[in-house]
Structure 1
Amino acid sequence: MTLQTEFNFTLPRGYVDAEGNLHKEGTMRMATAFDEIAPMKDPRVQSNPGYLAVILLSRVITQLGDLQQINPKVIENLFSADFAFLEDMYRRVNDQGHNKISVTCPACEENIDVDIGSSASLGEP
């Protein structure tokens, strides 16, 4: 069995860049210990511990649309729904090793795992 370390996602809203282009599809990798330790030295995190999530996400998101670089400024400019989506995904991927949740089918009452990396898998347009 191979360890999956990268996970695809589709943002609920999407990042709008300076030219007005919408970027929704992306990839997040699992975090390393260094990813979690290094931001603690960042003065933005030292003055505002809430900024840690911005730095962490900018380190582990490896692709977002056709952006050349994912940096803290990109993460700062996400819509709050997308930021929350990525924070939740970060926790699932790094705590559980996958991006799935268990749900019960309302029709047959069977328990199934659903990959929630995509808003389409949640029945959203």
Structure 2
Amino acid sequence: MQQTEFAFVLPQGYLDSEGDRHREGVMRLATAYDEIMPMRDPRVQRNPGYLVIILLSRVITRLGTLDQINTQIIEGLFSGDLLYLQDLYQRINQNGHSRLRVACPHCQGEFEVETVPVGE
């Protein structure tokens, strides 16, 4: 059975209005509709860079104890966390997993390693 949800831990974490930090979350695989739907959004039409904000708000299903993930929460992430989530999105949606292919610098042997969430 294919894995469709991936746990993560943000490097810095989202700070909510009460000052609580939310770091642990879950991202699901994107659907074709997830990638197509934001193209109709006026915010993306005005600024194509906003696409990632909408996309992440659709595929992140949990972040700490927050009830709902929306574009305002993604906009409020620290830039390091946003970059981390963009990288995770690319890896799981291109490869279907969060493993990386690496080469040993000593023996040049190639193998896959499972990425460990930052902070673990």
Contact 2:10–2:119 at 8 Å: present in 1 too?
A: no
With structure 2 as the length reference, what TM-score do the two structures score?
0.91
Task: Note if 1:70 corresponds to 2:69.
Answer: yes
1:70-99 Cα shifts (integer Å, max 9, x gaps): 000000010000000000000001000011
- Quote the offset at 1:29 in angstroms: 0.2
- How well do the aligned residues superpose, as a CA RMSD in angstroms? 1.7
How many angstroms apart in 2 are the aligned matches of 1:102 and 1:120? Answer: 21
Partner-residue secondary structure (3-state), 1:55: helix
**Counterpart in the other structure of 2:78:** 79
Unmatched segments (≥5 aa) in structure 1: none
Kindly indicate whether the alpha-carbon contact (under 8 Å) linking 1:7 and 1:117 is maintained by their aligned counterparts in 2: no
From the superposition, tell whether residues 60 and 117 of structure 1 become closer, same or farther in structure 2 (CA, over 3 Å): farther
Match for residue 99 of structure 2? Answer: 100
**Mapping 1:23-42, distance limit 5 Å:** 23-42=22-41
Equivalent residue for 2:60?
A: 61
Task: Give aligned-pair identity as a percent.
Answer: 56
Q: 1:117 to 1:44 in 2, by over 3 A?
A: farther
* In structure 1, distance between residues paired with 2:12 and 2:111: 26
Structure 1 stretch displaced more, 100-109 or 28-37: 100-109
Question: How far does residue 120 in structure 1 lie from its aligned partner after superposition?
Answer: 3.8
Give the number of aligned pairs: 120
Report the Cα distance in structure 1 between the residues aligned to 2:20 and 2:109, rounded to whole angstroms.
Answer: 41
Q: Report the TM-score, using the length of structure 1 for normalisation.
A: 0.88
After TM superposition, what 4+ stretches of structure 1 lie above 4 angstroms from structure 2?
A: 104-112
